[in-house]
Structure 1
Amino acid sequence: MSALVLTASAAMAQETQTQPAATTDQDATELDKVVVTGSLIPQTTLETFKPVTVITADDLQARGFNSVQEALNQSSMATGGVQGNQSSASFTQGAETNSLFGLPVGYTKYLIDGRPMANYPALYNGTDTFNNISGIPVDLVERIEILPGGQSSLYGSDAIAGVINVILKKRMDGTALTARVGGYHEGGGQSTRLSLADSFSFADDRGTVLAGIQYEMRDPIWAYQRDLTKQFNQHPLDNPNNPNDGVPVASRDWLVFSPFTSYNFLDPNNCENVSDAFGGTTGVQTRPARPAPYCGSMYTPGYRTLRNGKEATQLYSHFTFDISDNTQLYADALYNRETVDYHIGSNFTWWGSSVKWGYFYDPNLDDFFQLQRAFAPEDMAGGWEQSMNHDKSESYAYTVGVNGTFGESNWDYDVGFTRTQYTLNENSWARLADPINDWFETNIMGPALTNPDGSLMLDPYFGAYQVYTPDYEAFYQLLPAGAFESFTTRTVNRSLTYDDMLRAQITNGSLFSLPGGDAGIAASVEFGKEKWKYNPDALLIPDPVTLQSEIWGTTSVSGQGTRDRYAVTGEMRLPVWEPLTISLSGRYDSFDAGGRTIDSPTYSVGLEFRPIESLLFRGKFGTAFRAPTLSDMFQGVSGFYSSVRDDLGCSQAGFDPDEAGCPQNLEAAQYFGTQQGNPDLEPIDADVWNAGVVWAPTAKFSVGVDYYNWKIENETVLQSAGRIMRDEYDCTSVANGGSGLLDPNSGTCQAAFDAITRNALGALQNISLTKINLAHRDVEAVTVALNWGQSLGAWGDLNVNGSWTRNLKHDSQTFPDDPTLDLVYDEFYTTDPRYKANASVSWSKDALTATLYGNYIGPTGNNVAFITSVPTAYGRNRGVGSYTTFNASVNYDFTPDFSMSFLVTNLGNRMPDMDLTYDGLTGSPYNTGNYDVYGRAYFLEARYLFNRD
């Protein structure tokens, strides 16, 4: 009888330190015992109660994936959109990660050879700890294993959405030299990748060493190199809820704005003196419902990077030495050095008088004004490259240990020490607050007017704003030589994480006999110490009281903390009956941080039932958790810029809180926010279960279906700015524009009043937020995986693989009395697809192999459905259609030692469908979290083996 064959959802065996996984179609009873991802006990069964998706080294190459992140991002289970290279001005624009099943990126545990990766020192979206996977050398990867569902009973904290184990090569058949070059059909992104790896034995084959190096260089892709992103949306549909919809609008690169008279055009030269800006595209522009024009360009969105430039080097080595037949020393080391270059875009490269003065009063015009001015490449002596950002990082992980067997017994042991460390230096372009304000005050605004007694003159209406009589003609000018350099600089934020872990494990795969076979047991104990430190440049560190810094318009995350931890883990595998195996595991984790102990026990019960050899029913129920991260607990007062609906302001302007049509400056009121950690946070808890079936009627065909369910409680969230704004509205009396529903002396009202700061005109300025344990979510999903192989006789061999994931439910609630948000079917709360799939067809004959790979993203909601709760003709209808791309590769082995491949990604040069419900203010009318505009790319790869045995 044939064993269940390996499928796309099968549990691929992980190599042990002593022998590789079996790769033949032998009966399961003849396979060597190996350790599979998701278990500590060596076993012969490839399929277990835990479904594992496997991406092999051959898959990575044949499907055209350029990195581990690309391969994982196109997994059908990666249904969640994430911030990445296309996310202008995000906190971690230089990092790469993924979201399984739409869950937060920090809910996935990443391992390299079964050991946890170092956390990225910067925080995702400025608040969450996660793993950056951009530095894994793809040429040195043996395979990637994706284990979905809660796995904390074996792997501890963070393993709520699942575990991803990247397994690196352990042996080479000779010295392998690989070179890949490529570029994009639409321009940009030219890349070169070189790798060299070799392994050898010594001391009569008692010792083995593998060493490898990978080097990669890649040019950035700029938005101006793509038609969809080089300018503002030229085809917006009319939306009566937004006055800027229906027409394309240019950026406000030189603008004089009044809160009372709106736009004021005060340039006597009609933008002639700035017409050379942004490549000669600047001129007189208008916007609907505005009383005056301004100077701007349609093409400023093109001045940002869509994909980072990159230069990276990775070094890897694996070492084993057999001291005796029962004892082996081992060591592994991986080092990564990486520099990424990117530009946040012209939208974030500007100056405005509002940051220092709010408004100023001009007595000659009897009005209050703000000045706003973008910086163009023509303002900079070095062009746009002058304001690029450069993130430089180094990470390493090393493990040393010993494993073996106790005498002639069945008891194995493994004791090892692992250290991971990640350092990050973010070298960023910055505007110096005092010099930039001084320059514009001296050259544009003129001196502040004073009273006869020498005191500053204030406006006659509010007595709160300084008085200026600017030279408006001088405002509408390009900067003179040297001006830009006089008020800009570069800052370097330095941050690091490290994790030390001492781990000991004992295992017995044949503890005693049961009717279904040998019972197995494993137990481990580990001790560790972790640290996170984020140290912004001295110029960026805000005063915790005034929240001011020496950098204009920019703030930063700050904080540091350490914790000690230990964990005890146990697992049993019980084949109680030939068709039935029960697996049990439990773990206890304890963290000592900030003078308090945080602990969490977790457990798991798994079942495998095989009524016949070709059919497997499987299921698991368990618990999972995520301990408060060091940043959750110890993040200092950190700033950010965002926008929120000003409910009180809208009400005072005559609009109910949920009514459409509120003025844009109130509908999306800009504010400076502050956030900080909370040392009293508790762990996030989850109950997770899955059930599935795998059918393998032949050795070359199998299909698996699995269902997953998460109930996650006590989630850590940042207080909701929108909720605080609504509390302020409900706490304010009807006479002052509020609803008066809440007692203004209550704790809720006092907290809202304390969190919000407004200026003398009542405009929103600051909101202070902290992290709390309140949210919960329920998630359900189903996956299908298929594998089919067919011999075509003289015509070669055919192999087909496919996987499909459907999100069935994703309900989230932040506060106990909040409505439950539907993150699957209600497009106001989600932009993620409900389903995603991929498939590959590979044909091989003799020395030739050809592969066609397709990646499918299901329909998603359009933009107008996501940004407004008011139903429109364009919302609530999955307005953006499905999206499919194809990769193709041809590989030919010229000799046993030399082969070449030609690969094309995005074969049809498929671009995202333009979402016409974006207004004319966007330069990327598509969802950047789900799609990219890179287009077709070509790669040529050569591989040469020499010094073979």
Structure 2
Amino acid sequence: MSGGAALAQDAEGTQPGATTLDHVTVTGSLIPQTQVETFTPVTVISAEDIQMRGFESVADVLQQSSFTTGGLQGGQTSASFTQGAEAAGLFSLDPGYTKYLINGRPMANYPALYNGSDTFNNISGIPVAMVERIEILPGGQSSLYGSDAIAGVVNIILKKRLDGAEMSVRGGAFSEGGGSSVRFTLADSFTSADDRLTVLAGVQAESRKPIWGHQRDLTSQYNTNGYSTPFASRDFLVSDAIAGTYHFMDPNNCANTVGQFGGTTGLQNRPGYGQYCGSFVSPGQRTIRNGKDSVQGYSYATFDLNGTTSLYGELMLNYEETEYATGSSYTWWGTGAKYGAFYDPDLGRLVNLQRAFAPEDIGGQGYKDILNTDRNKAYSLAFGMQGILGDSAWDYDIGAMRTEYKLTERGWARWADPIDAYFRENVLGPQLGVDPDYNFYPVFRPDYANFYSPIAPQDFAGFTGYTTTESRTWNNMLRAQFTNASLFGLPGGDAGFAIVAEAGNEGWEYNPDPRLIEDPDTLESQVWGTTSVSGGGHRSRYAVTSELRLPLLDPLTVTLSGRYDAFDIAGQTVDKPTYSLGVEYRPVESLLLRGKYGTAFRAPTLSDTFQGLSGYYGRLPDYYRCSLDGYDPANVEGCAYENAQYFGQQSGNPDLESIEADVWNAGVVWAPTSNFSLAVDYYSWDIENEVDQLSGDQLLRTEYLCRTGAAGNQVTSCDNALAWVGRGPNGELQSLYTPKVNVAKQKLEAVTASLNYMVDVGAWGSLAFAANYTNNLEHTIRPTPEDAEIDLLRDPYYMWIYDAYAKTRTDASVAWSKDRWTTTLYANRIGETPNYLAYAGGSYDYVHSSGARAGKWDAYTTYNASVNYRATDNLQLSLMVNNLSNEMPDDQSADYPGTSSTPYNNYYYNPYGRAVYMEMKYSFGK
């Protein structure tokens, strides 16, 4: 009897009592069928693939997939919003556009927001050693899976049964240092004497050290191979607030600073700017890969009530702590944050001070003592009943699930009042009035000798500490599915039908440490240089899904699916019907022509709807008042209101509509023998109503159009525009409210190809070849209706802005197996990507004054190799070497300036280098 049914069934078995054993249900369909290849292309990565290709985690599998062509934020990107999490996406679309399932059930959303604004799934807490396989279903799939399935669906299927207990130990390290890890897994499965009860239980525990920037040449110091002269960090700097040049005010010529950053700090000179005290190696004081300690538990059970009915239950637990340091670039103090500038009467100038904190200031183990820690606690519980309705051909599966994800972010902080008080007492001294030129800026006569001096660790501890931010998400769902794989006969076989009803609710809460909340009057928090925004809300939902599979003729099958989703959000109903039509045509047994057309959507996320209110001050052209004075909005230069000041507020928006997409794909599969298959598929997305934060400029332009009746594209309704622009009694601009709005459009076309070939080489064993390829043909975005389309594949500036980097990506492997030995060579190739100069110059034709040219980085290929030896029937030993050739993105550094601390594209490449792992796996039941 099979395991518990889910949104996408486990393909290991059939529904209880199914009449044909070779019918299975795979991701992309609700109806059991005999064909593995259907109108929905599915890429399957088995547990053996994961082991032999050297993948360390589920995140590693998906981030190296040929479908992953876009850049990603995570532990390798210092100071990103979700540095403690791991994300993946398909076809360079946002990670939140991919629906993630575990055993067919939706994963809990991560409580923190990707890029500070978007809901997504953290895929780091899944026990990879218990994965049976991962199925990737590209293309829009909302007609079966509902909201979020615009880019595709990823279904991570965990093991349901084992022949006996299994234990594995895996450990490894990087040849360049850092990142050592050890992983332990124990799992067992047993069946009662009467075969009615089956239980699997397992636990995976892992500990991983971080990789620090100083452990890699590329990140240990400022770029020494760039197109401009390298300069040390400005650790002790007095800068002119008007001219931008430096004033060197140290009476000891940096003599008191030489012990900083391991004795590397000294007198530096930047031509055209001036002298200061700094170090070249300060960038090394950050992590470029998170440390991690985690434990996951998983259990799955079934109990047969009788020959046609069974109960099932599933529980997954995750506890994970990640630790990271953002580095000295984010660990400093300066006068600009509080004062904007101050007046030094001895210089007769407006200046600012800037002071970075070295490991010696921190004391103890330096930056290791001020690591940030993200603690994740999550569980997923599902239970239900499945079976056959009486003597009919109808199968049913009725179940419930709950997921909850709690995140505790412990972040290192500088307390605003204490740190400012320390520097006022020890450096700035008492305020001596205001400046004579503007009658605004404070006057200080600093003690520069104290400024250019170390800080005692006890003083550092006095103005620093930790904030604690708590957040969580939860999701409850009831689900009932009824399936008939033999509804009625047709010339091509039996028609199949499935209908599903779902109801549930979900919530999100983000509660920053109260000290991070900005004061509405000062727009400052109690944490120096940092603020945060709270948010929270919930929604209820229900959905009805149906699928009808019609084998009209022996070679021709048509599949129709439709779904209706409705969400109750903040007292408003947001609903969306979606549908798809799929066609399979087999003119001969070895050839399949397939295609699908449908619609997809993403409902307004809880964060987009309920993100809290935050404020800011800004200046923008007041287009309406300028128009009253005869100025065209296209050119307001000289207008008295071209730089009008305002108070702005931004937040989520409870009136958002769903993101919508028209999607289709067409392809061909050729399988002339059981050992060879080749598939090529084309995909197209036309996405509208995308959510973006409304800008003040867009709002003021729309207000102008509404007030004057001029022609042009509006970004919101006139009612909204007039309500969101606040004006005084004389018409003067006072305030703007810029919530999130449905405004952007996106188009994407891509082609994928996959090849599998197995050959028996007789006494030499067997060989298996596999390859996957993705080519993004077109990808454009229109940020607002008034903007021109931006080409994300050919405009290098916007390719960086939107994290859409590689046009092509390929992975390939060759595996050899003989007797007790298996070995695999795996290659992953990233196609050409624009270099930094192309982004900075906004064109591939850009030439820097140094002679360095914009262009593209060459294709980037890494290789993994593994050898597995089954020493006995119970014992398997494995050796895995990832990045066999120790490939690094060093060549990218020549296209970055000498001032860069990260001279490579860290959203797409990493400098981790070669890793070596050894694993022992023992199976007690064989």
Q: What do the CA deviations read for 1:734-754 (whole angstroms, capped 9, x no partner)?
A: xxxxxxxx9xxx999999997
Does the aligned pair in 2 maintain the 1:826–1:876 contact within 8 Å?
no
Query: 1:805 aligned to 760, 774, 784, which one?
Result: 774
Judging changes above 3 Å, is the alpha-carbon distance between structure 1 residues 710 and 350 closer, same or farther for their aligned structure 2 residues? same
Q: What do the CA deviations read for 1:540-581 (whole angstroms, capped 9, x no partner)?
A: 122345432111011123100000100011110000110000
Does the aligned pair in 2 maintain the 1:137–1:314 contact within 8 Å?
yes
Query: 1:886 aligned to 863, 871, 877, which one?
Result: 863
| Aligned match of 1:792 | 761
Task: Show the 5 A alignment for 1:73-222.
Answer: 73-222=63-212
User: What letter matches 1:872 in structure 2?
Assistant: Y
| Aligned match of 2:894 | 916
Judging changes above 3 Å, is the alpha-carbon distance between structure 1 residues 640 and 154 closer, same or farther for their aligned structure 2 residues? farther
1:260, distance to aligned residue in structure 2 (A):
2.7
Judging changes above 3 Å, is the alpha-carbon distance between structure 1 residues 838 and 610 closer, same or farther for their aligned structure 2 residues? same
Judging changes above 3 Å, is the alpha-carbon distance between structure 1 residues 344 and 327 closer, same or farther for their aligned structure 2 residues? same
| Aligned match of 2:787 | 818
Does the aligned pair in 2 maintain the 1:725–1:752 contact within 8 Å?
no
Determine the C-alpha separation between the residues in 1 that align with 2:334 and 2:736.
21
User: What letter matches 1:485 in structure 2?
Assistant: A
Does the aligned pair in 2 maintain the 1:707–1:782 contact within 8 Å?
yes
1:303, distance to aligned residue in structure 2 (A):
0.7
Query: 1:284 aligned to 267, 285, 291, which one?
Result: 267
Which 10-residue stretch deviates more, 499-508 or 864-873? Answer: 864-873
1:361, distance to aligned residue in structure 2 (A):
1.3
Does residue 1:314 correspond to 2:296, yes or no?
Answer: yes
Judging changes above 3 Å, is the alpha-carbon distance between structure 1 residues 165 and 795 closer, same or farther for their aligned structure 2 residues? same
Match of 2:682, SS state, is strand
Which 10-residue stretch deviates more, 210-219 or 252-261? Answer: 252-261
Does the aligned pair in 2 maintain the 1:126–1:557 contact within 8 Å?
no
Does the aligned pair in 2 maintain the 1:705–1:783 contact within 8 Å?
yes
1:257, distance to aligned residue in structure 2 (A):
1.3
Query: 1:856 aligned to 825, 829, 848, which one?
Result: 829
Does residue 1:327 correspond to 2:327, yes or no?
Answer: no
Does the aligned pair in 2 maintain the 1:718–1:771 contact within 8 Å?
yes
Determine the C-alpha separation between the residues in 2 that align with 1:315 and 1:881.
43
1:460, distance to aligned residue in structure 2 (A):
1.4
Does the aligned pair in 2 maintain the 1:692–1:706 contact within 8 Å?
yes
Segments of 5+ residues of structure 1 without an aligned counterpart are 1-10, 22-28, 238-245, 450-456, 649-656, 659-670, 731-741, 756-765
User: What letter matches 2:419 in structure 1?
Assistant: I
Judging changes above 3 Å, is the alpha-carbon distance between structure 1 residues 396 and 379 closer, same or farther for their aligned structure 2 residues? same
Determine the C-alpha separation between the residues in 2 that align with 1:929 and 1:687.
29
Match of 1:923, SS state, is coil
User: What letter matches 1:943 in structure 2?
Assistant: K
1:203, distance to aligned residue in structure 2 (A):
4.7
1:33, distance to aligned residue in structure 2 (A):
1.3
Segments of 5+ residues of structure 2 without an aligned counterpart are 1-7, 624-632, 635-645, 706-713, 728-734
| Aligned match of 1:838 | 811
Judging changes above 3 Å, is the alpha-carbon distance between structure 1 residues 646 and 699 closer, same or farther for their aligned structure 2 residues? farther
Does residue 1:61 correspond to 2:51, yes or no?
Answer: yes
Does the aligned pair in 2 maintain the 1:556–1:640 contact within 8 Å?
no
| Aligned match of 1:585 | 561
Q: What do the CA deviations read for 1:281-313 (whole angstroms, capped 9, x no partner)?
A: 1111222421x2111111111110010000000
Does the aligned pair in 2 maintain the 1:709–1:781 contact within 8 Å?
yes
Determine the C-alpha separation between the residues in 1 that align with 2:906 and 2:168.
32
Task: Show the 5 A alignment for 1:348-747.
Answer: 348-382=330-364, 383-449=366-432, 457-638=433-614, 675-720=650-695
Q: What do the CA deviations read for 1:115-152 (whole angstroms, capped 9, x no partner)?
A: 00000000001100000000000000000000000000
Determine the C-alpha separation between the residues in 2 that align with 1:127 and 1:529.
21
| Aligned match of 1:7 | none
Which 10-residue stretch deviates more, 221-230 or 261-270? Answer: 261-270
1:727, distance to aligned residue in structure 2 (A):
10
Determine the C-alpha separation between the residues in 1 that align with 2:910 and 2:723.
42
Determine the C-alpha separation between the residues in 2 that align with 1:183 and 1:190.
4
Determine the C-alpha separation between the residues in 1 that align with 2:219 and 2:620.
28
1:685, distance to aligned residue in structure 2 (A):
0.2
Match of 2:597, SS state, is strand
| Aligned match of 1:263 | 246
Does the aligned pair in 1 maintain the 2:309–2:387 contact within 8 Å?
yes
Does the aligned pair in 1 maintain the 2:724–2:737 contact within 8 Å?
no
Does the aligned pair in 2 maintain the 1:555–1:640 contact within 8 Å?
no
Judging changes above 3 Å, is the alpha-carbon distance between structure 1 residues 358 and 421 closer, same or farther for their aligned structure 2 residues? same
Determine the C-alpha separation between the residues in 1 that align with 2:100 and 2:691.
20
- RMSD over aligned CA atoms reads 2.9
Q: What do the CA deviations read for 1:614-666 (whole angstroms, capped 9, x no partner)?
A: 1000000000000010000000024899x999999xxxxxxxx99xxxxxxxx
Does the aligned pair in 1 maintain the 2:725–2:737 contact within 8 Å?
no
Report the count of equivalent residues: 872
Determine the C-alpha separation between the residues in 2 that align with 1:673 and 1:198.
58
Q: What do the CA deviations read for 1:665-689 (whole angstroms, capped 9, x no partner)?
A: xxxxxx9996421111110000000
Identity of aligned residues (%): 55
Match of 1:143, SS state, is strand
Q: TM-score of the superposition, structure 2-length normalised? A: 0.90
Determine the C-alpha separation between the residues in 2 that align with 1:396 and 1:785.
35
Determine the C-alpha separation between the residues in 1 that align with 2:387 and 2:513.
49
1:355, distance to aligned residue in structure 2 (A):
1.2
1:810, distance to aligned residue in structure 2 (A):
0.4
Determine the C-alpha separation between the residues in 1 that align with 2:182 and 2:700.
50
1:364, distance to aligned residue in structure 2 (A):
2.3
1:270, distance to aligned residue in structure 2 (A):
1.1
Q: TM-score of the superposition, structure 1-length normalised? A: 0.88
1:354, distance to aligned residue in structure 2 (A):
1.2
Match of 1:434, SS state, is helix
Match of 2:75, SS state, is coil
1:234, distance to aligned residue in structure 2 (A):
0.9
1:865, distance to aligned residue in structure 2 (A):
1.5
Judging changes above 3 Å, is the alpha-carbon distance between structure 1 residues 899 and 689 closer, same or farther for their aligned structure 2 residues? same
